[in-house]
């Protein structure tokens, strides 16, 4: 009899606990959805409240966020570390600039062309990189980042790239007579492309392909034993990641209106990695915060000291890593977990 009573009590308690957890998670999801809508509303209103220069900076922040989003697919989702995404950014930028400058092709058509070319480049680079892992893969991608800008300086390519002189691009105006300045139009164009890229990445992660990529990241041997084609998926991860970064590079060339080989030094690749870590490895929305970090922190560091801006930048980065060792992604997950536990406790108390 006592056993039956104990069993029934446990069943009743578990029945109460499950709805409580579900309700708390639903509340946390609603809070996240409301925060997303608030950020989106602020993003739409920003160019109308800011001047042209700040709008330009916000556009570059979104461009860096797109590039970091692509890097997150490779590193955060698939577990392959790259120090060479500045090379894909450069390829995308030169693709757009050459198509506009040499062939007079519209700037919108250069974006898919840059993405496709970088996808093929990334996929082909990923094939020989399959034999590499860890620091050896990082070294190979480091070499890619160092070599690529030098290729654009070579004499055989000067007719297309203009060598060290670079390429100047005209800034496009808003189409269809829209009452927007050129900076505002490019901002909204970048915002739309960033949103499309984010939702595509989110759907990719939630799909069967995304689960395969994460299985390879967590345990490649187990994934292979389950029938996952690790070689194909690793190369695809490189290709998709390069596609995002190439589109970002094309947008960057259009927005800045000038590119040269020196614009794509190894420091750009490092900045993208730093933005990835600050935003949170494996957390897709963190790309936006990483882009803001890459864009605005150097300016903030210069406000403290122009002569020691690099030291100030390093100190701020170290403090952020001490405060948030898993980046903003880890901080967000901790906050959501706390909300779920608190909500579940309040419902169970009732």
pLDDT single digits (tens) 131-148: 888 888 889 999 999 999
User: Is residue 16 included in any domain, yes or no?
Assistant: no
The CATH number that applies at residue 293 is: 1.10.3470
The pLDDT assigned to 118 comes to 96
pLDDT single digits (tens) 10-68: 444 444 444 444 555 566 667 677 778 898 999 999 999 988 999 999 999 999 999 99
φ and ψ at 28, to 5 degrees? -65, -40
pLDDT single digits (tens) 168-192: 998 898 998 889 999 999 999 999 9
Categorize the per-residue pLDDT at 344 as very low, low, confident or very high, splitting at 50, 70 and 90: low
The pLDDT assigned to 330 comes to 75
202-237: burial string, b at 16+ Cβ within 10 Å, e else:
eebbeeebbebbbbbbeebeebeeeebebeebbbbb
From residue 36, give the alpha-carbon distance in Å to each of 33, 42, 215.
5, 10, 29
pLDDT single digits (tens) 85-127: 999 999 999 999 999 999 999 999 999 999 999 999 999 998 8
The pLDDT assigned to 35 comes to 77
Q: Tell me the pLDDT of the chain averaged across its residues.
A: 86
Bridge partners of residue 167, in order along the sequence: 259
- What's the pTM? 0.89
The CB density around residue 147, as the number of other CB atoms within 10 Å, is 11
User: Is residue 212 included in any domain, yes or no?
Assistant: yes
The number of domains in the chain is 1
User: Is residue 313 included in any domain, yes or no?
Assistant: yes
Residue 82's Cβ-side half-sphere holds a number of Cα atoms within 13 Å equal to 38
3 token code pair: 């056993």
User: Is residue 8 included in any domain, yes or no?
Assistant: no
Closest by alpha carbon to 61, among 299, 239, 240?
299
CB 88 within 8 A of CB 220: no
Q: Average of pLDDT values for 287-315? A: 87
Is a pLDDT exceeding 90 seen at residue 193?
Answer: yes
**Percent of the chain residues past pLDDT 90, beyond the cut:** 58
| Calpha distance 198→89 (Å, rounded) | 18
DSSP-derived secondary structure for 209-250: HHHHHHHHHH-HHHHHHTT--HHHHHHHHHHHHHHHHHHHHH
Query: Residue 329: CB partners within 8 Å, gap ≥ 6?
Result: 279, 280, 281, 282, 283, 285, 286
User: Is residue 56 included in any domain, yes or no?
Assistant: yes
User: Is residue 31 included in any domain, yes or no?
Assistant: yes
Share in percent of the chain as helix, strand, coil (round to 5): 85, 0, 15
The CB density around residue 57, as the number of other CB atoms within 10 Å, is 17
User: Is residue 45 included in any domain, yes or no?
Assistant: yes
Query: Residue 127: CB partners within 8 Å, gap ≥ 6?
Result: 231, 235
User: Is residue 86 included in any domain, yes or no?
Assistant: yes
Distance from the Cα of residue 281 to its chain's centroid: 10
pLDDT single digits (tens) 234-250: 999 999 999 999 999 99
232 is in which domain, residue-wise? 23-339
φ and ψ at 206, to 5 degrees? -85, -5
CB 212 within 8 A of CB 73: no
Query: Residue 124: CB partners within 8 Å, gap ≥ 6?
Result: none
| Calpha distance 246→243 (Å, rounded) | 5
């Amino acid at each position: 009899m006592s056993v039956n009573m104990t069993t029934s009590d446990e069943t009743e308690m578990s029945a109460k606990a499950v709805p409580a957890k579900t309700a708390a998670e639903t509340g946390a999801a609603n809070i996240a959805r409301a925060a997303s809508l608030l950020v989106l509303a602020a993003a739409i209103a920003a160019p109308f409240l800011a001047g042209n220069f700040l709008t330009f900076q916000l556009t570059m922040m979104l461009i860096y966020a797109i590039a970091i989003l692509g890097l997150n697919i490779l590193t955060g989702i698939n577990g392959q570390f790259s120090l060479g995404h500045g090379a894909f950014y450069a390829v995308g930028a030169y693709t757009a600039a050459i198509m506009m400058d040499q062939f007079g092709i519209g700037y919108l058509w250069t974006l898919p062309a840059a993405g496709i070319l970088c996808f093929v480049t990334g996929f082909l680079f990923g094939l020989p990189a399959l034999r590499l892992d860890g620091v050896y893969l990082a070294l190979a991608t480091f070499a890619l980042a160092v070599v690529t800008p030098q290729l654009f300086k070579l004499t055989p390519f000067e007719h297309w790239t203009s060598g060290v002189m670079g390429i100047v691009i005209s800034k496009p105006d808003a189409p269809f007579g829209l009452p927007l300045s050129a900076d505002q139009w490019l901002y909204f164009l970048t915002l739309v492309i960033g949103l499309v890229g984010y939702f595509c990445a989110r759907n990719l992660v939630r799909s069967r392909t995304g689960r395969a990529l994460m299985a390879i990241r967590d345990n490649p041997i187990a994934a292979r034993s389950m029938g996952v084609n690790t070689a194909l998926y690793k190369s695809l991860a490189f290709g998709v990641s390069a596609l995002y970064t190439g589109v970002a590079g094309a947008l960057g060339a259009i927005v800045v209106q000038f590119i040269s080989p020196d614009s794509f030094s190894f420091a750009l690749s490092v900045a993208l990695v730093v933005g990835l870590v600050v935003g949170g490895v494996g957390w897709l929305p963190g790309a936006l915060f990483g882009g803001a970090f890459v864009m605005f922190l150097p300016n903030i560091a210069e406000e403290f000291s122009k002569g020691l801006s690099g030291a100030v930048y390093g100190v701020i980065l170290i403090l952020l890593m001490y405060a948030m060792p898993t980046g903003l992604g880890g901080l967000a997950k901790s906050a959501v977990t706390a909300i779920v536990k608190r909500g579940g406790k309040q419902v169970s108390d009732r």
